[in-house]
């Protein structure tokens, strides 16, 4: 039995990892951000250089960026897990295989960047979401979410502190656990002169709305619905390709109004924020139902891709009109920004006043990994990074856990 004094010692020191925030903020810090989104296309890695210790006084520089494709076997396992078809052993294997693969990618990335591992202060890893069911998607019961990668294995393989599991704390206190990038947007893309909207088109699409000169509590951000997920799925099922390169297929087809009206009845689009979604809701199963409907109604394969692209653009624009402001400067990111037809439709549906800008974050895939490197930087310094009015969480938290 421990006496009181011993217990105090244990309680204060032994069981808490203390990162000295004064020390952490005393110099520039280099962090790698590793992002793997719901598209399961591969890994995006950014090296960021950060400084500062206060909101809107931070600096961030994107030093290097590179993408790595998933090996086919790993991609297959991820798809199985997302479809709720992986067995326990496969999930355990995936958790470790991701760590082995990420460690290999980071080493190759650093070699190419000619940046020594020793100079790296930490690695922030999002992990592969295989399930995301926050409270709002769970009929008011406790929420849950899972981003796979063994943080212990990764820190051991790289011998660098690893920050990960960014979504769990927020979900545990009633939040959506998403979106988490708004703190990055608020710090680095905010304007004192005009409203700004950032749109990220990954597997799922999301926006951050930063009203002119806003406070942190005025930030609005949420998922708008599908990004590339149904376009990618239809390309795979109907054309045997992973995605619609530059939107070329969608551009060739015709919009089918009956199908578009049917898709528009999806309740997620009109739902008021906070809201987040995933491939549990915009699933392959649902997509196969849509394709079945199209086949029964003699809708051509190419027209299906065109109409799904319209639906994606419409759902993003509709959310901007309902819950943000179409007349804002818009910055688009994510791999979907390379789908030129989707971008053209997005502009048409938003009907932005021509005096506002519509820009692309360069390179578009880098934004999320760069933002997670920043979230890692905040966690190492102990600074809160969720925005409670965005995620709906009951607490303001420094997201993520540190593995060393
Ligand atoms: N040249 C391109 N043309 C059209 N779509 C593209 C192109 N390049 C990438 N994409 C789309 O971007 C997706 C990957 O985007 P990404 O930002 O990595 O999403 P996620 O975060 O969900 O992984 C691909 O699945 C594909 O749909
Ligand atoms: Mg990706």
In order, the DSSP letters of 291-326 are HHHHHHTT--HHHHHHHHHHHHHHHHHHHHHHHS-S
Contacts 24+ apart (CB under 8 A), 112-120: 112/64, 112/66, 113/47, 113/63, 113/64, 113/66, 115/30, 115/47, 115/63, 115/64, 117/158, 117/159, 117/160, 119/30, 120/30, 120/31, 120/32, 120/160
Residue 355 to residue 364: CA distance in whole angstroms? 23
204-210 and 196-201 beta bridge pairing: antiparallel
9 pLDDT higher than 60:
no
**HEC sequence for 330-395:** EEEECHHHHCHHHHHHHHHHHCCCCCCCEEECCCCCHHHHHHHHHHHHHHHCCCCCCCHHHHCCCC
Computed from CA positions of residues 147, 152, 158, 159, in that sequence, does the dihedral angle turn out positive or negative?
positive
Q: How far is the CA of 194 from the centre of ligand 2 (A)?
A: 30
CB 306 within 8 A of CB 193: no
221 touches 182 (CB < 8 A): yes
Beta bridge partners of 29: 50
Reduce the DSSP state of residue 42 to 3 states and report it: strand
Tens-digit pLDDT profile for residues 105-125: 999 999 999 999 999 999 999
* Distance, CA of 157 to CA of 264 (rounded, Å): 47
User: Closest residue (by CA) to atom 14 of ligand 1?
Assistant: 335
Indicate the pLDDT class of residue 336, thresholds 50, 70 and 90.
very high
Please give the distance, rounded to the nearest whole angstrom, from the Cα atom of residue 234 to the centre of ligand 1: 14
Is the distance from the beta carbon of residue 41 to the nearest atom of ligand 1 less than 6 Å? yes
CB of 39 closer than 6 angstroms to any ligand 1 atom: yes
Pocket test for ligand 1, best of 39, 230, 232 (most atoms within 8 A of CB): 39
Q: How far is the CA of 201 from the centre of ligand 1 (A)?
A: 8
Pocket test for ligand 1, best of 336, 360, 364, 368 (most atoms within 8 A of CB): 336
37 lines ligand 1 (CB under 6 A): yes
Q: Which two tokens stand for residue 312?
A: 């994606």
- What is the distance in A from the centroid of ligand 2 to the CA of 75? 11
What's the pLDDT score for residue 5?
52
Distance CA(175)–CA(394), nearest Å, equals 7
- pLDDT average, residue stretch 368-390: 97
Angle at 333 between CA 328 and CA 334, to 5 degrees: 150
Cα–Cα distance list, 119 to 30, 146, 370 (Å): 7, 31, 18
In the block, residue with structure tokens 């938003």: 350
The residue nearest atom 7 of ligand 1, judged by CA position, is 338
For ligand 1, mutation pick of 335, 340, 346, 370 (most atoms within 8 Å of CB):
335
Per-residue pLDDT of 146-199, as tens digits, reads 999 999 999 999 999 999 999 999 999 999 999 999 999 999 999 999 999 999
| Chain segment 196-240, per-residue pLDDT in tens | 999 999 999 999 999 999 999 999 999 999 999 999 999 999 999
CB 188 within 8 A of CB 241: no
Distance 216 CA to ligand 2 centre (A): 28
Mean pLDDT of 375-394: 96
256-315 tens-digit pLDDT: 999 999 999 999 999 999 888 998 899 999 999 999 999 999 999 999 999 999 999 999
3-state secondary structure of 48: strand
Average pLDDT value for the chain:
94
Distance 46 CA to ligand 2 centre (A): 13
Helix H or strand E segment including 233: helix 229-239
339 lines ligand 1 (CB under 6 A): yes
CA 242 to ligand 1: nearest atom: 25
Atom 18 of ligand 1, nearest CA residue: 335
Share of the chain above pLDDT 70, in %: 95
Q: Which numbered atom of ligand 1 lies nearest the CA of 339?
A: 4
């Amino acid at each position: 039995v421990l006496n009181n004094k011993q217990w105090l010692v244990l309680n204060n020191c032994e069981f808490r990892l203390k990162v000295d925030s004064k020390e952490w903020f005393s110099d520039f810090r280099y962090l790698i951000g590793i992002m793997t989104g719901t598209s399961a296309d591969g890994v995006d890695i950014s090296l960021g250089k950060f400084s500062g210790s206060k909101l809107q006084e931070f600096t961030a520089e994107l030093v290097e960026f590179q993408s790595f494709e998933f090996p086919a076997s790993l991609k297959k396992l991820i798809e199985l897990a997302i479809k709720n078809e992986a067995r326990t052993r496969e999930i355990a294997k995936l958790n470790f295989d991701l760590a082995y693969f990420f460690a290999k990618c980071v080493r190759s990335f650093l070699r190419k960047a000619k940046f020594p591992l020793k100079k790296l202060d930490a690695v922030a890893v999002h992990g592969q979401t295989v399930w995301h069911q926050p409270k709002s998607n769970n009929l008011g019961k406790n929420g849950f979410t899972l981003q796979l990668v063994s943080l212990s294995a990764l820190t051991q393989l790289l011998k660098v502190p690893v920050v990960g599991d960014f979504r769990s704390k927020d979900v545990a206190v009633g939040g959506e656990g998403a979106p988490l990038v708004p703190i990055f947007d608020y710090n680095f893309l905010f304007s004192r002169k005009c409203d700004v909207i950032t749109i990220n088109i990954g597997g799922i699409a999301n926006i951050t709305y930063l009203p002119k000169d806003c406070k942190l509590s005025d930030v609005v951000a949420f998922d708008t619905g599908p990004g590339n997920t149904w376009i990618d799925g239809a390309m795979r099922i109907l054309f045997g390709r992973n995605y619609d390169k530059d939107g070329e297929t969608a551009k060739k087809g015709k919009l089918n109004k009956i199908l578009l009206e049917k898709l528009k009845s999806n309740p997620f689009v009109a739902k008021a924020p906070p809201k987040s979604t995933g491939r549990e809701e915009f699933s392959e199963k649902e997509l196969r139902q849509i394709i079945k409907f199209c086949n029964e109604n003699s809708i051509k394969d190419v027209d299906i891709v065109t109409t799904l692209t319209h639906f994606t653009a419409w759902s993003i624009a509709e959310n901007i009109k309902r819950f943000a402001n179409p007349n804002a400067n818009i910055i688009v990111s994510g791999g979907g920004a390379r789908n030129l037809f989707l971008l053209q439709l997005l502009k048409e549906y938003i009907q932005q006043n021509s005096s506002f800008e519509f820009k692309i974050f360069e390179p578009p895939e880098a934004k999320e990994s760069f933002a997670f490197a920043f979230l890692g930087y905040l966690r190492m310094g102990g600074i809160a990074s969720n925005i409670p009015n965005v995620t709906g969480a009951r607490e303001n938290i420094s997201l993520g856990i540190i593995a060393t």
